[in-house]
Structure 1
Amino acid sequence: MTEPFLIGDRMTGGYGKGADILHDCTIAVDKGKIAVIVGPNGAGKSTAMKAVFGMLNLRSGAVRIEGEDITALSPQDRVAKGMAFVPQTSNIFPSMTVEENLEMGAFLRRDDIRKTIEQVYDLFPILRDKRRQNAGELSGGQRQQVAVGRALMTQPKVLMLDEPTAGVSPIVMDELFDRIIEVARAGITILMVEQNAKQALDIADIGYVLVQGANAHTGSGEELLQDPEVRRTFLGG
C-alpha cells in the first residue's frame, strides 16, 4: 500500500507546555481528494489541522507530505513544500483591494502571477467584479472567497481550510463547497475542518470524527453519513 499524499501520523501534542490536546490522532488524505474533520466543540479539530501545518509541537507522531517527513519544519517552510492554510478569522487584509489581497498571496513567487489571478477570478467570478474594492467592504462569503483565492495564489499542493463556511448563509455555503470540489478536481488536496458536518461529509472522500483529540470514527463521507452512531451522536439523528 502506498502512503497517503499527506498524513499527520499518530499525532500527540498541545500548545506550548500545556496539556496534550491530540492523543494518537491520525489524519490522512490522498492527492486531489477532500478530507473533512468533524466532531463536537472542543474535540481538537482545528488543533489537528494546525498540527499538520506545524503550528504546535508534537510530542510524538509525524507529519509527511509525498513521503517526506516535515515534522520539524516551520509553517513557513511547509508553505514552500506546497501547503496553504486559511484560518477561520483574520484571513484577509481588509484595507487592501481584492486584487491586492491576491497579489499578497503570491509574495513568495518569482514568476508571472497573472494567469493564476485569472484562474481565481474564473473560480470566483464575483471577485473579478469587485477586484478594485477593499476586501473589508465585502460580505462574509465574499471575504472567504478572497481568503481561499489568496491561498490558491501560492499554487499549493494542499489547501487547508479551518471552518470555511463559518457565519455564511446556507446558499453561500453550498456555493463555497461547490468551488472546493472544483479545486480538488484540479488536483489540489483539500483538508478542512467544518462545523456543518452533514454538508461537509456530503462532499468528503474521507471523513474523520474526532472526540477529545482522538479518532472516534473514520470512513468515507458516505459511510459516516450512514453510520447510525455517527448520525445519532454528531449529526442530530
Structure 2
Amino acid sequence: MSFLIGDGMTGGYGSADILHDCTIAVEKGEIAVIVGPNGAGKSTAMKAVFGMLPLRLGHVRLEGEDITALTPQARVAKGMAFVPQTQNVFTSLTVQENLEMGAYLRRDDIRGTMEQVFDLFPILGEKRRQPAGELSGGQRQQVAVGRALMTQPSVLMLDEPTAGVSPIVMDELFDRIIEVARTGIAILMVEQNARQALNIADRGYVLVQGENRYTDTGEALLANPDVRRSFLGG
C-alpha cells in the first residue's frame, strides 16, 4: 500500500473523461514525477489526487485511508499541500505574510517552521518584508513552495514548479525539492522539463492521453530508448 495513491482514476470535466484508469503513487521521502506531452492529462491527474476533479471511477488513498470524497480543504487538513502553476502567491502581501497565510490552519507556534523555510530559501529571509509581487519568477515560486511547507505537510504536490524560470533557477529549485524530500515529505510533481525532472525522480509516470504509458524509476525511464525517442528528444 503506497503512502499516497490515486488508483485507477477515471474522470474529467463534464461528460468528457480526460483520465482513463490512471494510477499515480508516491511514498514518504520520495519524489514522483509526472511527465508527458501537452494535453496528456498531467495536471488533471494532480488535480484529481488533490480533490479538485471528481472521479467517475477509481479511488484516492492517503496512508490507507480512502479520501476520494474529501474536499481539497479537508485534504490539506490531512497533510496534503498543493502548489498550482500560476497565481500561487498573494502579490500585495509581503513574503512573510504569504508564509503566515500558509499556516492558517495551525494553532501552534509557527516561527520555527518559518525559520526552516528561510533556511531552505535564504533569499526569502532577506526579502521577508518585500511584497511578493516585486519578486522574480523564481523567487515567487520559492514563496509558493515555502507557504505550502508552512502547513507542515506529509505530501507536497507541485504543478510545473519550474515553469518560466531560467535553467539556473530550475536547478536551484530542484536542489531544494530534493532537500525537502530528504526530510521525509512525499513529493508529487508535474514537470515539463522531463529530462531534468526524471533525473531527480525516484519514480516517474509518463502519461499519454490520460493513460499510464510508462511507469518506472526515473533512472530507468531516462535509459528507456522508447521514452527517450518519444518524450525526451532522443
Q: Fold conserved (TM > 0.5)?
A: yes
2:6 counterpart residue number: 8
Alpha-carbon distance between aligned partners in 1 of 2:36 and 2:123, rounded to the nearest angstrom: 32
Q: State the alpha-carbon separation in 1 of the partners of residues 25 and 100 from structure 2.
A: 30
Give the partner amino acid of 1:157. S
Name which of 203, 208, 217 aligns with 1:206: 203
Report whether the alignment pairs 1:46 with 2:47. Answer: no
Q: CA deviation at 1:18?
A: 3.2
TM-score, structure 2 normalization: 1.00
Whole-angstrom distance in 1 between the partners of 2:208 and 2:171: 26
Output the CA distance in 2 between the equivalents of 1:106 and 1:162: 20
Task: Tell me the distance in 1 between the aligned counterparts of 2:218 and 2:203.
Answer: 5
The one-letter code matched in structure 2 to 1:7 is I
Identical residues among aligned pairs (%) = 82
Matched residue type, 1:68: E
Write the letter of the residue equivalent to 1:107: Y
* Aligned-partner Cα distance in 2 for 1:155–1:182: 15
d(CA) in 2 for partners of 1:175 and 1:199?
12
TM-score when normalising by structure 1:
0.98
Cα distance in structure 2, aligned partners of 1:184 and 1:125: 18
Letter of the structure 1 residue corresponding to residue 104 of structure 2: F
Residue 21 of structure 1: SS of its match in structure 2? strand
The residue aligned with 1:176 is: 173
Equivalent residues in 2 for 1:220-231, closer than 5 Å:
220-231=217-228
Per the alignment, residue 147 of structure 1 pairs with 144
Structure 2 matches for 1:63-82, cutoff 5 A? 63-82=60-79
Q: Note the residue ranges of structure 2 that are not aligned, 5 or more in a row.
A: none
1:114-193 equivalence runs, <5 A: 114-193=111-190
Moved over 4 A (4+): none
